[in-house]
Structure 1
Amino acid sequence: MLRLPKVRIIKKRPDFQHVYHAGRSMACRYFVLYVMETEEHAGKVGFAAGKKLGCAVVRNRVKRLLRECYRLHQEELREGVAILLVGRKAMTTAKRDVVERAYLALGRKMGIFS
């Protein structure tokens, strides 16, 4: 079973902002993927869901879906990249398999998989 260690999760605001501003991004209907080539944050990932998505229950569901998609495919990621996944409104009603397919498609376009 694959785990997502807490040391690989970006939690601090300056780290989020660094990946957000310095990284390149691509969006799909369900989320926005930010990717940054870095040594400092290599292999780390951040998850975000803004208040526009809804109440805390909805935002937490969005982040759980993003974490699960990342967790299932974390072994396929290239070395030396930090990614940030930001949920969008359409994700509040989406199923996991649909979001996972979108994650894989967008990840291939961005070149984050080896």
Structure 2
Amino acid sequence: MEISSLRSKRINIFRKRERLRLRRDISLLFKSGSAVQNEDFVILYRKNGLDYSRIAISVRKKFGKANRRNKLRRWVRECFRLNKDSIPAGYDFLIIARKSLSEKFEKSNYWTVCKTLLNNFERLINEESNIGSD
């Protein structure tokens, strides 16, 4: 394998530093973050002052059994990992799954969930560009 192909594969790694784990960081999102939402997800976001974005995923127990909750978390992480170029850098994100997604989760697949999530990120980019232009 060539070195250039190895470097291109590293871009799509979900690194440990991209995980938002500390309670104080998540509390800051709730206190001073903004939100974008649709029927399936709520995304709380806030600038973090870093050159990369970090995510946390929240799925309530009411969503279903542990295997369903973990499956959704894996899908969201994978969507984030593969689409880092279309997700704004320098933000902390808390992605919260809503009840309507749990009701239709058995009929949905990774692609529909990822598309819904990316639509939210697109709306977030549009809102941030509107705020910046004022």
Fold match (TM-score > 0.5): yes
Larger Rg: 2
- Consecutive unaligned residues of structure 1, counting only runs of 5 or more, are none
The C-alpha deviation readout for 1:17-60, integer Å capped at 9, x for no partner, is 21132111121122111111231695211111111212211211
The partner residue of 1:9 within 8, 19, 23 is 19
CA contact (8 A) 2:50 2:91 kept: no
TM-score by length of structure 1 reads: 0.84
Distance 1:43 1:16, change over 3 A: same
The partner residue of 2:57 within 47, 58, 69 is 47
CA contact (8 A) 2:51 2:89 kept: no
Q: Superposition RMSD on alpha carbons, in Å?
A: 2.4
- Which residue identity lines up with residue 116 of structure 2 in the other structure? A
Q: Which residue of 2 aligns with 1:96?
A: 110
Q: Which residue of 1 aligns with 2:72?
A: 62
- Consecutive unaligned residues of structure 2, counting only runs of 5 or more, are 1-8, 130-134
Name the structure where helix makes up a greater proportion of residues: 2
Identity percentage of aligned residues: 22
- Which residue identity lines up with residue 74 of structure 2 in the other structure? R
How do 1:77-88 and structure 2 match up within 5 A? 77-88=87-98
How far, CA to CA, are the matches of 2:51 and 2:95 in structure 1? 15
CA contact (8 A) 1:42 1:80 kept: yes
CA contact (8 A) 2:36 2:42 kept: yes
Q: Which residue of 2 aligns with 1:27?
A: 37
Which range moved further: 40-49 or 25-34? 40-49
How far, CA to CA, are the matches of 1:12 and 1:28 in structure 2? 26
